Amino acid sequence: MKLTKVFVALITAMLIIALAAGCSAPAKVEDPDRNIKQAQELIAKAEDAKSSTTRDDDYKSAIKKLTDVANSAY
Protein backbone atom coordinates (compact mmCIF):
# COMPACT_ATOMS: atom_id res chain seq x y z
CA MET A 1 0.00 0.00 0.00
CA LYS A 2 2.81 2.42 0.86
CA LEU A 3 4.62 1.53 -2.36
CA THR A 4 1.54 2.47 -4.37
CA LYS A 5 1.38 5.86 -2.64
CA VAL A 6 5.05 6.45 -3.41
CA PHE A 7 4.53 5.67 -7.10
CA VAL A 8 1.48 7.93 -7.26
CA ALA A 9 3.44 10.73 -5.58
CA LEU A 10 6.36 10.27 -8.01
CA ILE A 11 4.11 10.29 -11.06
CA THR A 12 2.28 13.36 -9.77
CA ALA A 13 5.56 15.18 -9.17
CA MET A 14 6.79 14.29 -12.66
CA LEU A 15 3.57 15.57 -14.23
CA ILE A 16 3.80 18.85 -12.33
CA ILE A 17 7.42 19.33 -13.43
CA ALA A 18 6.53 18.52 -17.05
CA LEU A 19 3.62 20.96 -16.95
CA ALA A 20 5.76 23.72 -15.46
CA ALA A 21 8.47 23.17 -18.07
CA GLY A 22 5.93 23.30 -20.89
CA CYS A 23 4.37 26.52 -19.63
CA SER A 24 7.60 28.46 -19.28
CA ALA A 25 7.82 31.65 -21.28
CA PRO A 26 10.07 31.74 -24.33
CA ALA A 27 13.19 33.86 -24.19
CA LYS A 28 12.70 37.45 -25.29
CA VAL A 29 14.52 38.57 -28.41
CA GLU A 30 16.25 41.90 -27.78
CA ASP A 31 16.34 43.04 -31.41
CA PRO A 32 13.86 41.20 -33.65
CA ASP A 33 14.88 43.18 -36.74
CA ARG A 34 18.48 42.04 -36.34
CA ASN A 35 17.39 38.40 -36.02
CA ILE A 36 15.22 38.70 -39.14
CA LYS A 37 18.12 40.23 -41.08
CA GLN A 38 20.46 37.47 -39.89
CA ALA A 39 17.90 34.86 -40.95
CA GLN A 40 17.69 36.44 -44.41
CA GLU A 41 21.49 36.36 -44.68
CA LEU A 42 21.56 32.70 -43.65
CA ILE A 43 18.94 31.83 -46.27
CA ALA A 44 20.92 33.65 -48.96
CA LYS A 45 24.08 31.87 -47.82
CA ALA A 46 22.28 28.51 -47.89
CA GLU A 47 21.18 29.06 -51.48
CA ASP A 48 24.83 29.38 -52.52
CA ALA A 49 26.13 26.50 -50.40
CA LYS A 50 27.76 23.62 -52.22
CA SER A 51 27.36 21.12 -49.40
CA SER A 52 23.90 19.88 -48.49
CA THR A 53 24.97 19.63 -44.85
CA THR A 54 26.01 23.28 -44.77
CA ARG A 55 22.82 24.28 -46.56
CA ASP A 56 20.67 22.33 -44.09
CA ASP A 57 22.51 23.86 -41.11
CA ASP A 58 22.02 27.37 -42.49
CA TYR A 59 18.31 26.77 -43.08
CA LYS A 60 17.97 25.27 -39.60
CA SER A 61 19.65 28.31 -38.03
CA ALA A 62 17.43 30.68 -40.01
CA ILE A 63 14.30 28.82 -38.94
CA LYS A 64 15.45 28.94 -35.31
CA LYS A 65 16.00 32.70 -35.47
CA LEU A 66 12.61 33.32 -37.07
CA THR A 67 10.90 31.01 -34.56
CA ASP A 68 12.52 32.90 -31.68
CA VAL A 69 11.23 36.19 -33.10
CA ALA A 70 7.73 34.76 -33.53
CA ASN A 71 7.68 33.29 -30.02
CA SER A 72 8.88 36.52 -28.43
CA ALA A 73 5.94 38.41 -29.94
CA TYR A 74 3.55 36.92 -27.39
> What's the number of CA atoms in the CB half-sphere (13 Å) around residue 27?
9
Per the structure, the count of domains in the chain is 1
Distance CA 43, CA 64 (A): 12
Q: Which of helix, strand or coil describes residue 68?
A: helix
Residue 72 above 90 pLDDT?
no
pLDDT of residue 1: 64
CB 49, CB 55: distance < 8 Å = yes
> 60 lies in which domain range?
2-72
Q: What is the pLDDT of residues 51-71, one digit of tens each?
A: 889 999 999 999 999 888 888
Distance CA 26, CA 38 (A): 20
Q: What is the pLDDT of residues 14-42, one digit of tens each?
A: 777 766 666 666 667 788 899 999 999 99
